[in-house]
Structure 1
Amino acid sequence: MRGHDLINAILPDELILEILCRLDSYKSSCDACSLVCKRWLKLERASRRTVRIGASGNPDAFVKLMIQRFAAVCNVYIDERLPISSPFPSTYPLGHGMPRTATRKSRSCKRIRGSSSKLHCAVESSGSEESDIEPFSLSDAGLTALAEGCARLEKLSLIWCSNVTSVGLRSIAENCKALKSLDLQGCYVGDQGLAAVGECCKQLEDLNLRFCEGLTDAGLTELAIGCGKSLKVLGVAACAKITDLSLEAVGSHCTSLQTLSLDSEFIKNKGVLVVARGCPALKALKLQCINVTDEALLAVGTYCLSLELLALDSFQRFTDRSLCAIGNGCKKLTNLTLSDCYFLSDKSLEAIATGCTELKHLEVNGCHNIGTSGLESIGRSCPALSELALLYCQRIGNNALFEVGRGCSLLQALHLVDCSSIGDDAICNIAQGCRNLKKLHIRRCYENLGDIALAEIGDGCPLLKDIVLSHCRQITDVGLSHLVKRCTQLESCHMVYCPFVTAAGVATVVSSCVNLKRVLVEKWKVSQRTRRRAGSVLAYLCVDL
């Protein structure tokens, strides 16, 4: 009935709480609900489980305020990478009751009530001008307050919180024993804190130790011993004091490990060998370790039969033996990335194509000895391929994409960068065989790609949503016209350093594609009329691509 608040009169608190819990991952929706009335504000605060805190003037105080407001929070993400110039970030993640901008001080103070007002005034009093206010980092005191106030904490992310030490981490470990995910990227914590996590947090599943320069083998070994039965995901990068010794402990104790990411010049074959033998459930392996050789991947191919993702970066000691072992043993492999692996040849891709027929994602980046025949094998034997990225592969020619177009009808994304041997014929074959293509990125392929390719894409790929054209010197307005005539679902179009694309071509794209959300182009190619018509979706080139 008109004039009656039926929702608040009929719906019990329990039902509203259930609805709000389902919106927890959508912060803007939660914020909107909290503005409905005081009752909804109270219920929303009581049900919010996830809070994200960006760079701020006083994160310790923000953490204490967060604990007071959101009693049910169990997922906390703190990221101090972003620079700040004011006591509050431009958009404060805690939601209702915080100012949108710190520069409008008088307006903000009127809106803020209670404890948040006291916090705002306290931070403001540290300096009369914004330039006098120095940014602070989360300290052990703030982390201790979080630990004591959020005993049900399950996920904690501390990104580049450089003032946090083992003291604060130990408080988390001792108070938050249900912790399942811990991200310490860029934190200078020591071995004592990590050992405490291993001792207390027996449910820990996910651990990120990227750029944790204060850790040594002792800390990771204690963690592996304590959390060996639960740990499933481990990432280690740029930790100079973590070597094969602690990786052997991981392989010996973490038998449930599913994902391992290593970026280190101090890890050699022995550690990876122990992990391969001791972690049969391993599904994802990412390696950027210049001192690891074929011996390690031979073990992976032998023991890790559940492997689904393999990423190898900057391996100058790997040869075709490694990929042959993977092809022979890892039949479930669906995702393969090869970057700057100079000694891999077509034989490697042939082995993958023969053994890993369920491959869905393939990226070949800067592997200069891989050419046409290797990719032809992929096209013939991997019909499930959905994404293909060829970057700086100058030995791969048109025939390779001919086989992909003929055999990989499920392909949805194609990325080409600096592939000078690929031309119109290759793209035409893709267009004729891959009618599900949604994303096409072509950068620096210069003189071989032109309007014929775009016309074929327009005719053959009606589902295309995203196209990037950079340094394509033979493409003209005519090709763009053919493309947009049929690709009516296009949402994003980047066309830069294409000298024969003019303002008329840009206008054609804008006027023909009603679903466009973003167009990137040189500013001088946009007419006043196009700017008036589609100013909200236009973006202008400011750096080289």
Structure 2
Amino acid sequence: MEKLSDDLVAQMLKRVKDSRDLRACGQVCSQWRRVEGLTRTSLRILDPLLLGQTLSRFPNLLKVEADLGVHDEDLACIAHSCPNLQFLHLDVNKYRRMMDICLSEEDAQDSISDEGLSAVAAACADLRIVTLRWRQALGDVGIKTMIMNCKFLAHLDLAHCKLVTDASLEAISEAPLLQVLILKSCTFITDIGLSVLTKGAVAKSLRDLNLNSCDRLTDLGVSYLKRLTGLQTLNLAECGPRITDTSGVAIATITCLRILNLSWLPNLSDVTVLALSENCTDLMELNLSGCELVTGAGLHSFSMHKSLQALCLASCPNLYVQDIVALCNLKYLVLDHSLKSWMTSDTVSCLQQRLEILWL
């Protein structure tokens, strides 16, 4: 082993794919430990208390993951030690969150804030993917700093970040390379934010937009989304009763849409369905669960659609067996189990031979 050069050891370690095996290699000897640290590009922080001692071993990290227990001081340490960072995942695990009875107190003690995010953004200009789910102490200041300094940002997840407002969308609108933006349950976002977002440079780059549960939105704001001419995936699930067919018709003008979630929007009807089937010729997945006004008359318009492969129709009470039979051109279908009792065994068998059905 002593005759092996650092370069040769590095080449060997690059061929070790399993992270557990890689850690074991670092225990072979002092040389292997040093080289393993120099070649490692990814780190998951399990014990933040040891972060200061650990990071010095890994000067070439590209990816860092952390959960609860990370403070602003830890992010400052990451910013100082990892200038080449490209992937930053700071999501709070939802299962840990559900199990924690004193969550609000723990968040106040442990969660990162705008100060920590700003420190990372100022030092790590190469950031490409940033996920910050459930970081409820983060707000507009940190996001503005990140957008200002990280010009290569392509993926931003702010789901359940309760302090995010329209001011953040104004900053995000100037992200020229952003392709994925997740704003699920950012309940302070309004029509004004969408208006500003769709006027900036991001309007040309954005491919995936998630506005699930942003319940302050209305038809006015959603109609601005038609400016996103390159949008391929859109999620408007549970955005409330103020989203009507006016929004649906506007969305249908985005002809390149491939995946669309309109579930639990009670005021969407066949008008929206007809517009989508006529204009969105590339549409592959459509979720209409909970859209109680949708009937077979609208769904029949998809019977000859060439691209649609998956359709979710759970909790759509105005559908009948003959409406479902007309959709045999699909590959996947989600239906209420109660509808199955109205079908003959031959009908069910015939359908299952042509497509895969998930009964809810």
Q: Same fold (TM over 0.5)?
A: yes
- Of the three residues 255, 258, 277, the one matched with 2:229 is 255
1:331 aligns with 2:306: yes
Alignment RMSD: 2.8
Alignment partners' CA distance in 2, 1:33 and 1:250:
51
- Structure 2 counterparts to residues 286-305 of structure 1, below 5 A: 286-288=261-263, 289-305=265-281
Structure with the bigger RCO (C-alpha within 8 Å, sep 6+) is 2
CA displacement 1:379-425 (0-9 Å, x = unmatched): xxxxxxxxxxxxxx3323422343256x45xx8x77566xxxxxxxx
- Structure 2 counterparts to residues 486-505 of structure 1, below 5 A: none
Alignment partners' CA distance in 2, 1:324 and 1:150:
52
Displacement of 1:181 in angstroms is: 0.9
In structure 1, the partner of 2:87 is: 75
1:310 aligns with 2:307: no
In structure 1, the partner of 2:197 is: 223
Alignment partners' CA distance in 2, 1:132 and 1:331:
51
| Counterparts in 2 of 1:182 and 1:10: CA distance versus 1, 3 Å | closer
Q: Secondary structure at the match of 1:214?
A: coil
Displacement of 1:64 in angstroms is: 2.1
- Of the three residues 47, 54, 57, the one matched with 2:67 is 54
Displacement of 1:178 in angstroms is: 1.0
- Of the three residues 223, 229, 241, the one matched with 2:216 is 241
Which letter does structure 2 place at the counterpart of 1:395? W
Q: Secondary structure at the match of 2:326?
A: helix
Identity in percent: 26
Displacement of 1:27 in angstroms is: 5.1
Alignment partners' CA distance in 2, 1:257 and 1:343:
30
In structure 1, the partner of 2:33 is: 37
- Structure 2 counterparts to residues 505-544 of structure 1, below 5 A: none
| Counterparts in 2 of 1:276 and 1:257: CA distance versus 1, 3 Å | same
Which letter does structure 2 place at the counterpart of 1:43? T
Q: Secondary structure at the match of 1:273?
A: helix
| Counterparts in 2 of 1:322 and 1:414: CA distance versus 1, 3 Å | closer
- Of the three residues 275, 295, 311, the one matched with 2:251 is 275
Which letter does structure 1 place at the counterpart of 2:350? E
Q: How many residues align?
A: 327
Alignment partners' CA distance in 1, 2:106 and 2:246:
53
Task: Verify the 8 A CA contact 1:287 1:313 in the aligned structure 2.
Answer: yes
Q: Secondary structure at the match of 1:285?
A: strand
Alignment partners' CA distance in 1, 2:23 and 2:212:
36
Work out which of the two has the higher radius of gyration on C-alpha atoms and give 1 or 2. Answer: 1
Q: Which runs of 5+ in 2 are unaligned?
A: 41-57
Q: Secondary structure at the match of 1:207?
A: strand
Alignment partners' CA distance in 1, 2:215 and 2:7:
61
Which letter does structure 1 place at the counterpart of 2:196? E
| Counterparts in 2 of 1:396 and 1:78: CA distance versus 1, 3 Å | farther
Task: Verify the 8 A CA contact 2:208 2:234 in the aligned structure 1.
Answer: yes
Which letter does structure 1 place at the counterpart of 2:171? A
In structure 2, the partner of 1:151 is: 125
CA displacement 1:276-303 (0-9 Å, x = unmatched): 11x1110011112111111111110000
Task: Verify the 8 A CA contact 2:325 2:351 in the aligned structure 1.
Answer: no
Q: Secondary structure at the match of 1:79?
A: coil
In structure 1, the partner of 2:336 is: 365
Alignment partners' CA distance in 2, 1:133 and 1:315:
36
Task: Verify the 8 A CA contact 2:87 2:127 in the aligned structure 1.
Answer: yes
Which letter does structure 1 place at the counterpart of 2:246? K
| Counterparts in 2 of 1:205 and 1:294: CA distance versus 1, 3 Å | same
1:399 aligns with 2:346: yes
In structure 2, the partner of 1:501 is: none
CA displacement 1:159-182 (0-9 Å, x = unmatched): 111111111110011011111111
Per the normalisation by structure 1, the TM-score is 0.55
CA displacement 1:303-324 (0-9 Å, x = unmatched): 0000111111111111112211
Per the normalisation by structure 2, the TM-score is 0.82
| Counterparts in 2 of 1:27 and 1:232: CA distance versus 1, 3 Å | farther
Q: Secondary structure at the match of 2:327?
A: helix
Q: Secondary structure at the match of 1:250?
A: helix
In structure 1, the partner of 2:54 is: none
| Counterparts in 2 of 1:250 and 1:133: CA distance versus 1, 3 Å | closer
Task: Verify the 8 A CA contact 1:159 1:184 in the aligned structure 2.
Answer: yes
Task: Verify the 8 A CA contact 2:89 2:132 in the aligned structure 1.
Answer: yes
